[in-house]
């Protein structure tokens, strides 16, 4: 989970740096960043739900709030 999040964060920073330093955004980089980051976030939330078990579904927990956002 940590590796996926760090890879997504790195890709986001790369896309942001590219957007700041070039006049025209590379659409392939932007789309790839969006897809990879959203899929990684979804996988991390799903894995956290598996780790927390029944507690992950309890109202008010961070995992449950993230699950509602990404589902």
CA distance 14 to 2: 18
Q: What confidence tens digit (pLDDT) does each residue in 31-45 have?
A: 999 999 999 988 988
Q: Looking up tokens 């109202």, which residue turns up?
A: 59
- Could you write out the three-class secondary structure of 28-46? HHHHHHHHHHHHHHHHHHH
Q: What is the pLDDT of residue 14?
A: 96
Mean local confidence (pLDDT), 20-28: 94
Instruction: Using a pLDDT cut of 70, give the percent of the chain over it.
Output: 93
The residue ranges of every structural domain in the chain are 2-70
């Amino acid at each position: 989970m940590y590796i996926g999040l760090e890879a997504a964060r790195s890709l986001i920073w790369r896309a942001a740096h590219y957007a700041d330093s070039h006049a025209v955004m590379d659409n392939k980089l932007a789309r790839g960043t969006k897809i990879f980051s959203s899929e990684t976030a979804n996988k991390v939330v799903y894995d956290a739900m598996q780790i927390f078990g029944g507690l992950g579904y309890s109202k008010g927990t961070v995992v449950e709030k993230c699950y509602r956002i990404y589902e």
